[in-house]
Amino acid sequence: MDAVRDDVEKLVCKELDSANRKFPLFRSSHEGAAVIREEIDEVEYALKRINGAYAELWSTVKNDSKGTQWAHEMNRWAINLAVEAIQVAAMGQKYMDSIGQNQGENERIQERMGSDGAEQKRVKNGKENG
């Protein structure tokens, strides 16, 4: 699990950068929470599809069949779930950036993004990440 943690964290930053280029920071905690809820719903949907495919796989295995199509389906939905989970993490970070854990953090982020949002740099733990 730890073998890919750094890669996942980089993907979260990549997703956040992409989202920030397309959309401004959240205007309120309600807006941020709604966006996060939407992403969580997509994670839950993907997990339901994985569980459904696994049930079919197990059913075919019990009948001495291979069921590789169900393993393929699980694989496909697991990748979708990973993408959606990355989006949850990115929107969680965007929420913290938007609402601000520290007074004035929101203004610093907006200044770094510029008026067109083309450049996104975040301040995290006192270090610049770009």
DSSP class of 19: H
Interatomic CA distance for residues 107 and 23, integer angstroms: 16
- The predicted-structure confidence for 23-53, as pLDDT tens digits, reads as follows 999 999 999 999 999 999 999 999 999 999 9
**115 band by pLDDT with thresholds 50, 70 and 90:** very low
Amino acid, res. 107? E
- Read off φ and ψ for residue 123, nearest 5 degrees: -105, 120
pLDDT of 76 over the 90 cut: yes
Other Cβ atoms within 10 Å of 64 Cβ, number: 6
pLDDT at 100: 77
